[in-house]
């Protein structure tokens, strides 16, 4: 009975997490498309530089403590308040550092207009100290409907403010307003539904316990975010803000697609694994299901995006953004591998093995950073730099999966066998889509034909071959619809 209850709650959570990710991504993409037509690649390049400091700061603010709240077998209100005060203190220190360092950063990147926008943008860090606890409490109880409501409202409000600012000629400030207002609105709406406020309580013993788990995730998060941001920092300095704007646009849309699909599955899986971590056979079944499902959705989506990248960019963003198409296609390949990375890493988190998580990050960042530096300073080519993410992504599929053979008995070979059908079907359907699209000149019709052929071929072959994950998804959707009547 308990297992059936967990399955029902997990499916319901997955439903709302999918719509939360999807709703947010759709709203953000519409906003970004409109802003891309109103602003220049230089503005987006400057935004990418600022987001480096915000994203790394957010990792430091959360310190892995929000994941510690999710993973812990039981928590009290004192635990939540303790985590908040830790995060809040760190956010204030980081904001002061960035505030004072902003002029130096602007001089280094020869961007004199960067100073006050960066100072304003980093207010997000203070908001995140509160929001991270809210999200942890919601995800711990698998109440993802609340996150859906908050992100959708925040996306609409911040999008309106950003577009209105751009139309009024605010330029770079419109991007800052859109980013800051999103996080602030999200926090306010979530506070209304979560009904949690921090108390004036700080328990040093519980803080040490949380940090004992969280510090490894903190270091891992800083390494990962630093590595992801390293190319932005180098491109912004070594090449130009315009080049960085093109790379960031090329990355943004495959990344958003990955966040909709894989990002909906993994947080739910982490919470579910944390609930059943003592039953290894059930954990393995859950992890296999998450990997198969995520890959089945992401592989064809990224393939179609790569095939239709040129007409999509030309039609949606405008001719001035066509140079970002090669970057977009490279990132489509990189994000097609996302499920095998995130599934293995989230499993380690759910099983409380943040020590292994940290070791993996150290290994990956060593060879990843070396490849990036060689591409930037030996080859001196921005295309080679982005291409290194494809190369290291392939290597990292093995690195990330290796520990789970011992932790839950799920080997790399088994994982490859589980995801291979989805990739083979994607390649076949993508080839047919490419051929069909080559017969059409009109960009709108071209996208429609390629999408139609891709979907028909992929789903048709899945049905004919009775692919296990296809049958499972079909039955799950039917069960979910029946349960909601």
Distance of CA 202 to the CA centre of its chain: 31
- Of the candidates 62, 217, 51, 205, the residue with the CA atom closest to the CA atom of residue 126: 62
Helix 2-38 crosses helix 468-483 at what angle (to 10 degrees)?
A: 100
For residue 2, the model assigns a pLDDT of 47
Question: CA separation (Å) from 133 to 127, 271, 441?
Answer: 11, 15, 51
Interatomic CA distance for residues 219 and 9, integer angstroms: 32
Interatomic CA distance for residues 115 and 425, integer angstroms: 49
Please provide the distance, in angstroms rounded to a whole number, between the alpha carbons at the two ends of the chain: 22
Interatomic CA distance for residues 101 and 53, integer angstroms: 11
Burial-class residue 74 by CB neighbours within 10 Å (0-12, 13-18, 19+): exposed
Residue 463's CB is within 10 A of a number of other CB atoms, namely 12
Residue 104's CB is within 10 A of a number of other CB atoms, namely 10
pLDDT tens-digit profile, the chain (485 residues): 445 555 555 555 555 556 656 666 777 778 888 988 888 888 888 888 899 899 888 887 766 676 777 766 677 788 888 888 888 888 899 999 999 999 999 998 888 889 999 999 999 998 888 877 887 787 776 666 777 778 888 989 999 999 999 999 998 999 999 999 999 998 888 888 777 788 888 888 877 877 776 677 777 777 878 887 888 888 888 887 788 888 988 998 898 888 777 665 655 555 556 556 667 788 888 888 889 988 998 999 999 999 999 999 988 888 888 999 999 999 999 999 999 998 888 888 777 787 888 788 889 989 999 999 999 889 989 999 999 999 999 999 999 999 989 988 999 999 999 999 999 999 999 999 999 999 988 989 999 999 999 999 999 999 999 999 898 888 877 765 666 55
Contact status, residue 454 vs residue 301, Cβ threshold 8 Å: no
230-257 pLDDT per residue, tens: 888 888 888 877 888 889 889 988 988 8
For residue 319, the model assigns a pLDDT of 85
Count of residues in the chain: 485
For residue 388, the model assigns a pLDDT of 93
* 27, two tokens: 């709203």
Interatomic CA distance for residues 53 and 111, integer angstroms: 15
Q: Is 63 helix (H, G, I), strand (E, B) or coil?
A: coil
Contact status, residue 14 vs residue 268, Cβ threshold 8 Å: yes
Query: For the chain, how long is the longest CA-to-CA vector?
Result: 67
Rama region for 142: left / alpha / beta (φ>0; ψ in -120 to 50; rest): left
Contact status, residue 351 vs residue 407, Cβ threshold 8 Å: yes
Q: What is the pTM of this model?
A: 0.74
Residue 317 is given by DSSP the state I
166-210 pLDDT per residue, tens: 999 998 999 999 999 999 998 888 888 777 788 888 888 877 877
For residue 458, the model assigns a pLDDT of 96
């Amino acid at each position: 009975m308990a297992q059936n209850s967990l399955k029902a709650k997990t499916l319901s959570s997955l439903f709302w997490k999918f719509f939360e990710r999807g709703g947010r991504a759709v709203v953000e993409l519409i906003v970004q498309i409109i802003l891309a037509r109103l602003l220049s690649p230089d503005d987006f390049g400057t935004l990418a530089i600022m987001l480096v400091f915000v994203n790394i700061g957010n990792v430091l603010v959360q310190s892995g403590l929000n994941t510690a709240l999710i993973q812990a077998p039981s928590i009290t209100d004192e635990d939540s308040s303790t985590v908040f005060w830790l995060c809040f203190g760190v956010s204030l220190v980081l904001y002061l550092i960035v505030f004072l360092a902003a002029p130096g950063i602007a001089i280094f990147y020869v961007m004199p207009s960067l100073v006050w926008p960066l100072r304003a943008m980093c207010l997000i860090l203070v908001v995140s100290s509160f929001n991270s606890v809210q999200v942890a409490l919601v995800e711990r109880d698998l109440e993802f409907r609340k996150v859906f409501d908050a992100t959708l409202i925040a996306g609409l409000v911040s999008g309106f403010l950003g577009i209105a600012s751009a139309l009024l000629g605010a330029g770079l400030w419109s991007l800052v307003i859109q980013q800051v207002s999103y996080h602030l609105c999200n926090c306010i709406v979530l506070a209304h539904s979560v009904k949690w406020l921090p108390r004036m309580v700080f328990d040093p013993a519980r803080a040490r316990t949380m940090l004992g788990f969280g510090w490894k995730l903190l270091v891992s998060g800083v390494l990962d975010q630093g590595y992801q941001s390293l190319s932005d920092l180098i491109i912004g300095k070594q090449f130009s803000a315009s080049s960085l704007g093109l790379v960031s646009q090329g990355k943004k849309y495959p990344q958003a697609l990955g966040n909709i699909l894989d990002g909906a599955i993994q947080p739910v899986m982490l919470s579910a694994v944390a609930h059943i971590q003592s039953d290894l056979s059930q954990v393995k079944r859950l992890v296999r299901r998450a990997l198969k499902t995520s890959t089945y959705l992401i592989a064809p989506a990224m393939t179609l995006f790569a095939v239709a990248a040129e007409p999509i960019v030309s039609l949606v963003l405008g001719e001035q953004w066509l140079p970002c198409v090669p970057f977009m296609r490279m990132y489509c390949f990189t994000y097609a591998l996302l499920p095998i990375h995130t599934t293995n890493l989230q499993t380690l988190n759910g099983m409380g093995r943040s020590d292994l998580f940290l070791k993996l990050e150290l290994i990956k960042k060593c060879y990843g950073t070396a490849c990036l530096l060689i591409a930037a300073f030996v080859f001196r080519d921005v295309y080679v730099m982005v291409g290194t993410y494809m190369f290291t992504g392939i290597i990292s599929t093995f690195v990330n999966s290796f520990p789970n053979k011992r932790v839950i008995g799920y080997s790399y070979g088994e994982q490859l066998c589980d995801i291979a059908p989805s990739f083979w079907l994607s390649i076949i359907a993508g080839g047919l889509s490419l051929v069909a699209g080559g017969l059409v000149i009109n960009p709108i019709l071209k996208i429609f034909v390629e999408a139609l052929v891709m979907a028909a071929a992929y789903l048709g072959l899945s049905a004919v071959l009775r692919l296990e994950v296809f049958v499972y998804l079909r039955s799950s959707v039917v069960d979910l619809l029946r349960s909601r009547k």
